[in-house]
Amino acid sequence: MSQQISETKVTRIEMRETAARILTNVGTPSDDALSVAESLVKAQEVGHASHGVIRLVEYVSFVHKGTVIADAVPVILSDRGATAMVDGGWGWGQIACKFGVEILKSKTKEFGTATITIKNVNHIGRLGEYVENLANEGLVAMMWCNSDPSVAAFGGRERLFGTNPFAAAIPSEGEPMVIDFATAASAEGKLRVARANGQKIPLGIVVDKDGKESTEPEAFYSGGALLPFGGHKGYCMSLLIELVGGALSGGHPSTTQVYSRGNGTVLTAYDPKFFAGDQAFAADIKESVTKIKSTTPVDPTRPVLLPGEVESQFRTRNSDAITISEAIWKQITELDSSLAR
């Protein structure tokens, strides 16, 4: 995906207002529209175009198909001690997840550790946003979710699992460390971006409908499947997320007959004060970070980075205006114009 593409710069305000206007024009309450738009812009500005404003094209189609109920309000299904279950009512995934994060913060600070699940939501966006929010409160956080079948099992060729992302965040001096990755060889959204920009993809990411590896993103959208990352190891992690995310949340694994759609989501957090103590925890993290950062790099021009540093660099570069491909921004502005008519 390294081919040159034409890019443009869009101010953060313009990008967020455009996204919010699109969402409002399909029936989203204004506050929710701004919240979802903010999540999309945050993903765009930290370099994850796959979870940025390109998603608006799909999101609008979700509303038109009735897959998303734009004005749905998440509710608590159960609230027992250090656990809770949230039902997103098939509204915006970002709204349900932000609702859940606030519940998790409160419970973790009360009990030391807590877990919540979320069901009946569509695309929840970039998981790193939610765990980073928790880490900024001094909490260690982990999150995962299953999703619609798009990934083949190790050795298989038909779609069986979702891209099933996993994220974690660790409080640290300055910005927290944020780990966030799909258990597929690529997030589906990256194929969406490559297709929109007319780019090819490396081998080892997608197989076509006949099970042959392809460099064409379209092979996936024409009946092919993503592959798990890391061979059998990625397959095992994807399987774990599929079963635990789907079954624990009540949204069901995509491998069951009762699964319909959506992200069965699990969020868990830990407050170091209840364990080794926040000062001892912080000291260990600080010493470890110092040692990792002092590692001699293979390439002197490319220092060893911590998880989240690449995103932080993108955020700094995009502080004045956010870089986006011209082809994708054209799609978004045309969508905005069509809905305004």
| pLDDT per residue rounded down to tens, the chain (341 residues) | 456 789 999 999 999 999 999 999 999 999 999 999 999 999 999 999 999 999 999 999 999 999 999 999 999 999 999 999 999 999 999 999 999 999 999 999 999 999 999 999 999 999 999 999 999 999 999 999 999 999 999 999 899 999 999 999 999 998 999 999 999 999 888 898 899 889 999 999 999 999 999 999 999 999 999 999 999 999 999 999 999 999 999 999 999 999 989 999 999 999 999 999 999 999 999 999 999 999 999 999 999 999 999 999 999 999 989 999 999 999 999 999 999 87
Strands 113-119 and 83-87: parallel
Domain limits for position 249? 7-279+309-340
DSSP designation for 97: H
Residue 304 lies in a domain: no
Burial of 77 from C-beta contacts in 10 A (0-12 / 13-18 / 19+)? middle
- Give the DSSP per-residue string, 106-140: HHHHHHSEEEEEEES-S----HHHHHHHHHTTT-E
Cα gap 237→5, rounded to integer Å: 33
282: tokens are 């912080």
Residue 303 included in any domain: no
Residue 164 covered by a domain:
yes
Note whether residue 177 is domain-resident. Answer: yes
Does some domain include residue 294? no
Q: Say how far apart CA 162 and CA 55 lie, in whole Å.
A: 17
Question: Within a domain: residue 291?
Answer: no
How far apart CA 95 and CA 10 sit, in angstroms, is 25
Prediction pTM value: 0.93
| Residue 251 belongs to a domain | yes
Please report the pLDDT score of residue 1 as a whole number. Answer: 47
Q: Strand, coil or helix: what is 173?
A: coil
Does 94 reside within a domain?
yes
What CATH number should be reported for the domain holding residue 199?
3.30.1370.60
Q: How many domains does the chain have?
A: 1
pLDDT at 112: 98
Residue 196: per-residue pLDDT = 87
Tokens standing for 265? Answer: 């989501």
